Amino acid sequence: MPTPHNNAKKGDIAKTVLMPGDPLRAKFIAENYLENPVCYNEVRGMLGYTGIYKGVPVSVQGSGMGMPSIGIYSWELFNEYGVENIIRVGTAGAVADNVQLRDVVIGMSASTNSAYASQYRLPGTYAPTASWNLISAAVKAAQAKGKAFHVGNILSSDTFYDDADSLANWQKMGVLAIEMEAAALYMNAARAGKNALCILTVSDCPLKGLSTTAEERQTTFRDMMEIALEAAYSVN
């Protein structure tokens, strides 16, 4: 059962997985929110845990940075381990003027500058889209918390340092925020017939010159984590 990137055995991983990019954020979520968390993966330091949240088994595992990395880990979870739902919990840079530092963004769709979709040999441009049941669950959880949140189009970029300085152009098209993984996750889910969602916390506003610290990004974005956990609970 183990894959080249995951030494979990059959039954070690829950049907719903929260997937932060940072494996240390996975560890933080497991230790602070899950009952009796058990570490099932340490390969390449990409920590994965399964525990109990409100009586429901939930797993959390790091994905690493970028679409190639989350593409590998989410593909294996969907296709080798029988995972049904993956909720990415990550950080993003604000693009839209009305998106502020520490706001939560729920990615309904994910535009991208990546060629990830070329593997499917489609006769057109694919639109990576989240699963409605997970969007609905996340919105209800965010509303219950009274947390400021936004739902809409995000940008999954292959480049962190963008020589073209293109964010202003994406802003014109109503993109809310920029990150680096969701489009590949959404495409993997679609291909596998599974469900995916990306929930983000705004860690910086590149067009305004605002940012948070690395420690804050790892441990303090609890609203996003709690919204994702409530969504995971509601779909089980």
pTM for this prediction? 0.95
Segment 135-151 shows an average pLDDT of 94
Query: Residue 203 annotated as binding?
Result: yes
CATH topology of domain 16-234: Rossmann fold (3.40.50)
The full DSSP string for 7-43 is: -PPTTSS-SEEEE-SSHHHHHHHHHHH-EEEEEEE-G
Active site positions, annotated: 204
Please name the residues in contact with 89: beta carbons below 8 A apart, sequence gap of 6 or more. Answer: 18, 19, 20, 25, 29, 199, 200, 224, 225, 228
> In which residue are the tokens 């070690």 written?
12
Of 85, 69, 92, residue with least CA distance to 156: 92
Query: Residue 162 annotated as binding?
Result: no
| Mean pLDDT of the residues in the chain | 95
Task: Return the pLDDT at 164.
Answer: 87
β-pair type (210-211, 56-61)? unpaired
Torsion angles phi and psi, residue 32, rounded to 5:
-105, -15
Task: Return the pLDDT at 1.
Answer: 72
The pLDDT of residue 219 is above 70? no
Query: Residue 91 annotated as binding?
Result: yes
Task: Return the pLDDT at 90.
Answer: 95
What are the tens digits of pLDDT across the range 63-102? 999 999 999 999 999 999 999 999 999 999 999 999 999 9
Percent of the chain residues past pLDDT 70, beyond the cut: 99
Which pairs from 61-65 meet CB under 8 Å and 24+ separation? 61/13, 61/17, 61/18, 61/19, 61/23, 61/26, 62/19, 62/20, 62/21, 62/22, 62/23, 62/24, 62/25, 62/26, 63/19, 63/20, 63/21, 63/88, 63/181, 64/21, 64/23, 65/21, 65/180, 65/181
Q: Any idea where the domains of the chain sit in the sequence?
A: 16-234
Task: Return the pLDDT at 225.
Answer: 96
Query: Residue 25 annotated as binding?
Result: yes
Of 214, 232, 95, residue with least CA distance to 150: 95
The pLDDT of residue 185 is above 80? yes
Query: Residue 90 annotated as binding?
Result: yes
